[in-house]
Amino acid sequence: MAGWTDRYWYSVEGLKLHYRDYEGPRDKPPILCIPGLTRNARDFEPVARQCAGDWRVICVDLRGRGESQYDPDPSRYTPHYYVADILKLLDQEGIADAVFIGTSLGGICTMLLASTDAERIAGAMLVDIGPVVDSKGLDRIATYVGQDVRYADLDDAAAKLADRNRAKFPHWTSQDWRTFASRVCHQTDDGVRFQYDMRIAANFRAATEGPQAELWHLYCALAGRPVTILRGENSDLLSVEVAEKMVAALPGDAELAVVPVTGHTPNLEEPQSRAALERLLDRVIAAE
């Protein structure tokens, strides 16, 4: 495992927010990783193993997740606040631009940031997300988000998470599920629990009720920089049709990579994910 330093920054509202900082050269853009709805910086351990040392890798915990402070006002658990937090981190660290890796919600944040501050994005990997989100995936997420489940221990969490998600990752081993559990859960005095503020569920459900807005104007703000769309073959959030349309919308800039026999979302350890990231970083260097 690549070594990191735990660092912090503050939101405009004064929330103490956490990120893992994996050292790398400062003469090229860092890789900045933004996790999904209920996830945290630990999701990007595979990226750090692959890239840290050759690249600086920054993995954030969004407000209300991981080691970041929970927001006393849960109405602020929205992408606009997350993007404001990310921009504040970039400014604090003196980072002009970064290679963004955004998984699911993190990809939406990346597109939203591009719509106002595209110059801060040297390249982007959108992991199993696009400007049109399939309602089947949203309905599935709604069945579990915000449920404060308690597990006896990490093995119990791994077994039960495998039971719930095995269809999405049929090739995963028991060790894969234990690693997954260790990334999404943490030990507390009251058992092993998910490491996020359960109150994010209210905003998620409010935002996903009824017809979903299409975000093509946000996605197209990424034009002119290297973009990779990484899709799980069995994804229920990003359809084949939308992924292919994303490539067509940014001709010459966007590449589609597919991880076989995988649902939402690829864990970035797969050979296809690693190769796609290498190609993206090569394109970023070439464009510098």
| Domain range annotation of the chain | 5-145+213-287, 148-197
- Output the pLDDT for position 217: 97
Distances (CA, A) of 285 to 55, 155, 218: 11, 42, 24
d(CA 64, CA 15): 10
Identify the pLDDT of residue 95.
98
> Is CATH 3.40.50.300 correct for 5-145+213-287?
no
Per-residue pLDDT for 152 more than 70?
A: yes
Query: CA angle at residue 40 from 73 to 224, to 5 degrees?
Result: 95
Residues whose CB is less than 8 angstroms from the CB of residue 120 and which lie 6 or more positions away in sequence, other chains included: 87, 90, 95, 96, 97, 98, 113
- pLDDT above 70 (res 1): no
Kindly list the distances between the CA atom of residue 91 and the CA atoms of 7, 51, 78, 120, in Å, as whole numbers in the listed order: 15, 23, 21, 10
Say what the pLDDT of residue 17 is.
98
pLDDT in tens, 119-144: 999 999 999 999 999 999 999 999 99
CA distances from 99 to 104, 124, 145 (A): 16, 6, 29
- How far is residue 179 CA from its own chain's centroid? 17
Percentage of the chain exceeding pLDDT 70? 100
Is the pTM here over 0.95, yes or no? yes
Mind giving me the DSSP string for 140-157? Answer: HHHTTTT---EESSHHHH
- Predicted confidence (pLDDT) at residue 2 exceeds the cutoff of 80: no
- pLDDT over threshold 70, residue 207: yes
> Sorting pLDDT into bands at 50, 70 and 90, what band is 208?
confident
- Count Cα atoms within 13 angstroms, Cβ side, for 279: 16
d(CA 233, CA 67): 32
Residue, of 281 and 213, whose pLDDT is higher? 281
pLDDT-derived band at 177 (thresholds 50, 70, 90) equals very high
Q: Are 127 and 103 in contact (CB under 8 A)?
A: yes
What DSSP element (H or E) covers 169?
none
User: How far apart (Å, rounded) are the C-alpha atoms in residues 152 and 112?
Assistant: 39
Query: Between β-strands 254-259 and 227-232, what pairing exists: parallel, antiparallel or unpaired?
Result: parallel
pLDDT of residue 201: 96
Span 231-257, average pLDDT: 97
53-93 tens-digit pLDDT:
999 999 999 999 999 999 999 999 999 999 999 999 999 99
Q: Which residue type, as a one-letter code, is found at position 276?
A: A
pLDDT computed for residue 123 by the predictor: 98
